[in-house]
Structure 1
Amino acid sequence: MFLNSVSSMLQNIRAERNGISPLHLSSIRAMLPLFFVTNRNNYSRWTPVYHLDMLNLHAEVEARFNNEFFAMFQKAGSFNGVWSHMATEKSIIKYSKGNGGIVGLTRKKSALIRCNVTRHIVGHFSVAMKMRSGLVTADDNTHDESRPPSMKRDEQQVIDLISHLQETMVNPFDIQHHPSELVNISTGLKASKEVQESLLNAIDTCTAMIKKFFDSALSAGMSRSFYGPIQRSNIKTFSDMNKKTKLKCRSGETVQGNINPELIFCRALALTKCRDDVPVEKLLSFPIGPISTSLFHDDGTMRK
């Protein structure tokens, strides 16, 4: 399941880098169950619509997409295509919202409509004028993520990630030495029988959820609203194996939840940046371990 999920993600990246429209659609279709299993409702609701729209493109547009015009190539070469929004950030959006653009100039609806309709033309003229005047070069119009320093950084991050997986975690890519039980590759914790069955059957469960959503909200005889709530997957994960603590709300209601000290500490650190009554000194005065550190000496021996 993990390898299939990673493979779908890598195929989606490859489709964008090489401008392969059919591979993009197949990877999107493969990732759809993952949106349902992780309860990403916006992606679950709108990805099928996007996929259907892409399957019903105009013949001329579809032919152009299949001819590597699906992605933006700002330089000759291979595996250097970028997503369309990344390309427009450095061109159309930059010159329409930057210095001399529409932002701060007017809020009139008619002017905004004219700007949106013609901003790609204005951006083209703006780039041409700046290049003729020597203010910018051709490299300035490429996205930062496609430049050699960024690509070198990304490659180093991949090497570091592989090294981290091999040295400190259960390597998920070493298929021959996989444990018989389902384990957390980060901590090595073995899953309980209930969690293991839930995770191993997650794709089948969410495939049934997808079919139910399609039949009820996207079919000809819809029995429910497309904008209605989507059923949660309720998949059991490793976090469900943590000990639950009873908490009493202000309303008097008692609820059970998992208390993660590390998560609470991180959120408290965030509070120190936005609230004057929560200084860092006060936060660090509280122990975050299961046992108070004040019970022990600096060398670890217990106080009498």
Structure 2
Amino acid sequence: MELNGLDLKYPAVLSLGVLVALALAFAVYRMMSSRSARGAAAVANSTALTELPEYRRALFLHRVRMAVLALSAVLLGGGALVGAARPLDTAIDKPQTRSRDIMLCLDISGSMAAYDATLVATFKSLVKSFEGERIGLVIFNSSAATVFPLTDDYDFINDELDTATKALSGDPDLDSFFAGTFNGRGTSLIGDGLATCVSSFDKVDLQRARSVVFATDNHLAGRPIIDVDEAGELAKAKGVRVYGLNPEEDGPDDEALEMREVVTGTGGRYYAMSDQSAIRGIVDSVQAQEATLIDAASRSLYSDNPTLPIALAGVGLLGVVGASRRWVS
């Protein structure tokens, strides 16, 4: 972030105030000049009086006090005008993001119902370990739906994952969370879900590290458009690494072995949900992928800075009060 100096929110107020002040000053000057010309009267033998040292000292002090009073009034009025114009400190923020994208991919079919809320909590633990990476969420059953696209707004991500937890825990007010996931034939179409997640990455023309965290039991129940092996080949072709999380593995079985082969074939790793090292392993693997810092769009940040008008008005007020009291005495 770099400072860009002092700015005014309402510069027209200052310009208009200066014009009004000049007009008032001219009107006061003309009025005083006219009054002085009409009120002047010759006094005989006054030279001896005006030559007295006491008179000269009193006249000098009078002029000094009037000058101080006028200058203080200018400072007080100027401070008020500058304050009304709202002085602002301007800073240019140049945020940077890491060139890593992570798509969270969650199977919400019936066989996963007992695990989904726990898996979302696992996703939240993963999110806490990242900083600057873009993260998105896709859910799938007989068809896939994007819950939120890739973003680095971590407050938004956590809010959406909280909503997902409530929906997957059976909150009847959040049935809309599942919209778009029942448009196919069958349930738990694993290959279609993975293919959708792999195809959800944007900026395909840029060199970025792309990963999918794929949570499923790999229990297929239907006829997918793309089977899981084809989805794995698609991930390899797009340079996407898939990290598998299987919540139901209780030993080697054909479905677990197939899932392991698919994810490891993309350069990713396979974990049973019961594996205590799963979260740390996924985070370390994702962060081990080379990433560069990318400058995001610059933005101007403004904050009120009333120091100058307060200082001007304070000095002016002290001068007015001081000069007026001495003049009265």
Q: What TM-score do you get using the length of structure 2 for normalisation?
A: 0.21
Q: Which has the larger radius of gyration?
A: 2
Q: Name the one with the larger strand percent.
A: 2
Q: What TM-score do you get using the length of structure 1 for normalisation?
A: 0.23
Q: Name the one with the larger helix percent.
A: 1
